[in-house]
Amino acid sequence: MTHLLDANALIIPGWLAALAIRHKVRLLTFDAGIAQLLATSEERQQHLTLLN
């Protein structure tokens, strides 16, 4: 069961990031780890906003 939770912890943020890129919008999140899922710094600047 633990592995399933770990997989969902990666799949859901990855899916949200892909959705933001596809729709050319920004993803607002408290999770700084999502930035690692984006391939380039341009993608991070264009599609991700980290909230404090």
What pLDDT is stored for residue 24 in this prediction? 93
State the alpha helices, DSSP H only, in 1-52: 2-22, 41-47
Q: What distance in Å separates the CA atoms of residue 22 and residue 9, rounded to the nearest whole number? A: 21
Q: What is the mean pLDDT of residues 20-42?
A: 91
pLDDT of 2 higher than 60: no
| Band of residue 38 on the pLDDT scale cut at 50, 70, 90 | confident
Q: Report which residue type is found at 34.
A: I
Extents of the domains making up the chain: 2-50
